[in-house]
């Protein structure tokens, strides 16, 4: 067993990002209970220290930005990082608030050795804008302790880990100063008074004497540290649904500035979905504004492949329709619906019949997004004798059985039947309409509103062929269709 | 001429060399789609609608047989896998009538853009994606007129298409200058639709022909003198249903056409 502990020691800072850069350049300090709990290098250079009060930090320089700590967001980010860590190990556990534990002993051969694995992990984390301290140990606790006390990296891995010698590990541990144990202050003081300064001196004592003096907690800790007692950790279960949020250091007032973070979030989602062989059907952009209101941008995508460039294009189109009422200070992407990717069959020869179904779906998505989905539709035939009820619109037309049509029907139906004046027994519309054929009587809907109509084909003076009817009950003429 | 080393035949074999008056080359079939009207096919120098280029149809009003002109093309394209887009049609495309014209409704998609810019944007997107089989767009309304620059954009976008693109425009706003590959003027004439070829790329223009209406549409079946009498002597609806239950209407006069009951 070889455990890797990744310690995100700057996580409270790293969850904030500016729209254009991976890490904030401006001096930033995170405040928890009126005290600074983390500060970036720019703030450190100005003299900000951890545990300083917020007002003292502000008095050092007016340019320092103070932000309240977002513990919930940190936990969500750590969860997302644990999902990412599943690329490297089948045993990943989250150790709150800011550590991940990976059992990498079983993955070394796959990655071609410890150095290669650490390099790959460090490289991907750096691309995400995270700085970490790594520790390697034969037990989870040892890895955590060493990440804190003796951080290692791909360029300088722990010497004991490369040859995996437990004796070497014990000698490393023995050399650690006693305060790395993290024992309560009272015990710490007692240990110092008893003359202990290194961990090895403590380990050399008999367990029972140590237990009597410092309690069972300490002996249990040492047993777990040295692997003499099991230390089960809860396994991380990868999330089923993708949700990720970015907080902005500076609120954004312009939608075009959202494109860069959108691209980054979509990239994360693409990797998430690729791992599960899924594709996104519906996603939501949630723009959190400075007034704690959120604006939701739903996006439907009928592509059956995971295509981030297409999703970015659709998002850009959706963003064009958005009017921002307030500045945006957080952006969340949620994949609401997803489905399993199916293998696509291509065609060997480029014939006229060969079409790219993905391109067609993308086109329809774009049109629906810009015009609104109610303005893009197909036609469907309904069973009704009343002409205006013999058809309906459908979102996506499906094949219908052909039925014999012996009756003359016009290609164009008017939105509403237009009432016509009558002269000498003939309907008039731009001059008298000459009735050519008819009547075809339609007598239907006797169960609700009886409709009794005599339909004629008539020709206008200018040559247009119209479909007109005379309502028997009222004797009025109406034009209902045009023979195109 | 069959000798490959002959410089002239080498030049003539180039795809961008067009021979006036020559027999229609076999590859021209790939650039056109038969219209379904033999007389029109003969008049068109590519013997069909141009593919991947704009076809302008100038007609002052609808109802003169313009859909009937395109019906064979629509039916043919709808039998394939590709879609047909109807962009901003002037009225409701009536599904039963289209089905009677052998157009498969499952291939039809109708767009109702809200304004001129949306209309031109949608057309351009559709043409650029090149995935559909045929596009019909109506640019005839006052608020939807396209100027030369936007027509040029559409013409360039249409190069991605494999099927024909039909744009209906109003002759009243016709500047006479258009990048379209084929321009036809449609007018009503007694008995059918009069077509005049205003422009065809690479071919002679000016031909006129007439496409007649289907005979069953124009066959007179109403005696005009009979109609007012027939209307006035018929009992009203309520009396009818009382006198003839179960919806049976007798043919009261042998000269009166028998109504079709549903």
Domain ranges (residues) in chain B: 28-217
Q: What is the pLDDT of residue B112?
A: 93
Domain ranges (residues) in chain A: 71-225, 243-340, 405-482
Is the preceding peptide bond at A439 cis, omega within 30 degrees of 0? yes
Give the tens place of pLDDT for each residue, B84-114.
999 999 999 999 899 888 899 999 999 999 8
* Contact residues, chain B, for A313 at CB < 8 Å: none
Query: Residue A74 — φ and ψ, nearest 5°?
Result: -60, -45
**Could you tell me the pLDDT band of residue B231, with boundaries at 50, 70 and 90?**
very low
Q: Is the ipTM of this complex over 0.85?
A: no
User: Closest Cα of chain A to B3: distance in Å?
Assistant: 30
A243-340 homologous superfamily: DNA polymerase, Y-family, little finger domain (3.30.1490.100)
Residue A22 pLDDT more than 50? Answer: no
Nearest to B106 among A397, A410, A411 (CB): A397
Residues 331-390 of A with CB under 8 A from B: 352-353, 355-356, 359-360, 362-364, 366-367, 370-371, 375-381, 385, 387, 390
Q: Which residue of B has its CA nearest to A482?
A: B63
* Contact residues, chain A, for B66 at CB < 8 Å: 484
Q: What is the pLDDT of residue B248?
A: 36
User: Closest Cα of chain B to A6: distance in Å?
Assistant: 47
Burial of A212 (0-12, 13-18, 19+ CB in 10 A): exposed
Residue B145 pLDDT more than 80? Answer: no
Residue with the larger pLDDT of the pair A269 and B220: A269
User: Closest Cα of chain A to B155: distance in Å?
Assistant: 18
* Contact residues, chain A, for B188 at CB < 8 Å: 462-464
Answer yes or no: do B96 and A381 touch at CB < 8 A. Answer: yes
Looking at domain B28-217, its CATH architecture is 3-Layer(aba) Sandwich (3.40)
Give the tens place of pLDDT for each residue, A331-360.
889 998 888 887 766 666 655 555 677 888
Q: What is the pLDDT of residue A289?
A: 84
Answer yes or no: do A390 and B261 touch at CB < 8 A. Answer: no
Residue with the larger pLDDT of the pair B30 and A371: A371
Q: What is the pLDDT of residue A160?
A: 65
Q: What percent of chain B has pLDDT over 70?
A: 73
Answer yes or no: do B125 and A414 touch at CB < 8 A. Answer: no
Answer yes or no: do A400 and B131 touch at CB < 8 A. Answer: no
* Contact residues, chain B, for A366 at CB < 8 Å: 125
Q: What would the mean pLDDT of A198-214 be, rounded to a whole number?
A: 84
């Amino acid at each position: 067993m070889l455990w890797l502990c990744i310690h995100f020691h700057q996580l409270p800072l790293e969850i904030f990002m500016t729209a254009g850069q991976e890490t904030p350049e401006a001096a930033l300090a995170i405040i928890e209970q009126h005290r600074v709990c983390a500060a970036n290098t720019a703030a450190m250079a100005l003299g900000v220290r951890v545990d300083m009060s917020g007002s003292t930090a502000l008095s050092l320089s007016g340019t320092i930005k103070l932000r309240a700590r977002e513990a919930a967001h940190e936990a969500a980010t750590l969860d997302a990082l644990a999902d990412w860590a599943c690329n490297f190990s089948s045993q990943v556990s989250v150790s709150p608030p800011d550590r991940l534990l990976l059992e990498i002993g079983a993955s070394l051969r796959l990655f071609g050795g410890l150095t290669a694995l650490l390099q790959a992990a460090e490289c991907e984390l750096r691309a995400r804008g995270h700085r970490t301290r790594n520790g390697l140990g034969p037990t989870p606790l040892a890895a955590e302790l060493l990440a804190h006390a003796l951080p290692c990296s791909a360029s300088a891995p722990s010497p004991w880990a490369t040859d995996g010698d437990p004796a070497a590990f014990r000698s490393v541990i023995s050399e650690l100063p006693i305060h790395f144990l993290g024992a309560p202050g009272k015990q710490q003081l007692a240990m110092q008074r008893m003359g202990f300064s290194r961990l090895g001196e403590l380990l050399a004592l008999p367990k029972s004497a140590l237990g009597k003096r410092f309690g069972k907690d300490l002996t249990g800790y040492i047993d777990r540290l040295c692997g003499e007692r099991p230390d089960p950790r809860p396994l991380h279960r990868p999330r089923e649904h993708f949700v990720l949020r970015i907080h902005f250091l500076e609120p954004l007032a312009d939608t075009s500035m959202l494109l860069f973070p959108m691209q980054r979030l979509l990239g994360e989602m693409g990797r998430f979905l690729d791992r599960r062989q899924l594709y996104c059907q519906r996603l939501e952009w949630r723009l959190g504004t400075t007034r704690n209101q959120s604006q939701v941008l739903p996006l439907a995508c009928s592509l059956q492949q995971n295509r981030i460039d297409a999703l970015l294009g659709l998002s850009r189109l959706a963003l064009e329709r958005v009017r921002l009422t307030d500045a945006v200070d957080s952006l969340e992407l949620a994949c609401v619906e997803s489905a399993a990717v199916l293998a696509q069959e291509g065609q060997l020869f480029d014939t006229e019949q060969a079409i790219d179904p993905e391109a067609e779906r993308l086109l329809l998505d774009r049109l629906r997004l810009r015009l609104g989905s109610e303005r893009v539709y197909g036609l469907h035939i309904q069973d009704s004798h009343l002409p205006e009820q013999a058809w309906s619109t459908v979102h996506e037309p499906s094949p219908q059985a052909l039925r014999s049509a012996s009756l003359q029907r016009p290609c164009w139906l008017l939105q509403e039947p237009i009432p016509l004046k009558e002269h000498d027994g003939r309907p008039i519309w731009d001059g008298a309409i000459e009735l050519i054929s008819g009547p075809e009587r339609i007598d239907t809907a006797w169960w609700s509103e009886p409709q009794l109509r005599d339909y004629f084909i008539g020709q206008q003076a200018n040559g247009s062929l119209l479909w007109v009817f005379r309502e028997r009950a009222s004797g009025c003429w109406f034009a209902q269709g045009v023979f195109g | 001429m069959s000798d490959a080393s002959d410089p002239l035949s080498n030049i003539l074999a180039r795809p961008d060399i067009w021979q006036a008056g020559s027999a229609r080359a076999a590859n021209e079939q790939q650039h056109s789609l038969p219209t379904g009207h033999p007389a029109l096919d003969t008049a068109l120098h590519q013997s069909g609608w141009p593919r991947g280029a704009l076809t302008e149809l100038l007609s002052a009003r609808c109802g003169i047989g313009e859909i009937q002109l395109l019906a064979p093309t629509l039916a043919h394209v709808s039998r394939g896998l590709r879609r047909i887009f109807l962009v901003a049609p002037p009225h409701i495309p009536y599904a039963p009538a289209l089905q009677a014209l052998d157009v498969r409704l499952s291939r039809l998609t109708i767009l109702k853009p809200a304004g001129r810019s949306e209309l031109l944007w949608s057309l351009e997107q559709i043409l650029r994606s090149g995935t559909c089989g045929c596009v019909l767009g109506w640019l005839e309304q006052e608020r939807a007129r396209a100027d030369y620059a936007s027509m040029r954009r559409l013409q360039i976008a249409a190069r991605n298409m494999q099927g024909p693109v039909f744009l209906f425009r109003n002759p009243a706003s016709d500047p006479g200058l258009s990048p379209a590959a084929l321009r036809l003027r449609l007018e009503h004439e007694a008995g059918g639709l009069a077509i005049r070829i205003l422009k065809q790329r690479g071919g002679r223009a000016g031909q006129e022909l007439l496409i007649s209406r289907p005979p069953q549409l124009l066959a007179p079946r109403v005696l005009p003198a009979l109609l007012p009498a027939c209307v006035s002597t018929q009992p009203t609806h309520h009396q009818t249903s009382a006198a003839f239950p179960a919806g049976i209407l007798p043919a009261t006069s042998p000269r009166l056409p028998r109504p079709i009951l549903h």
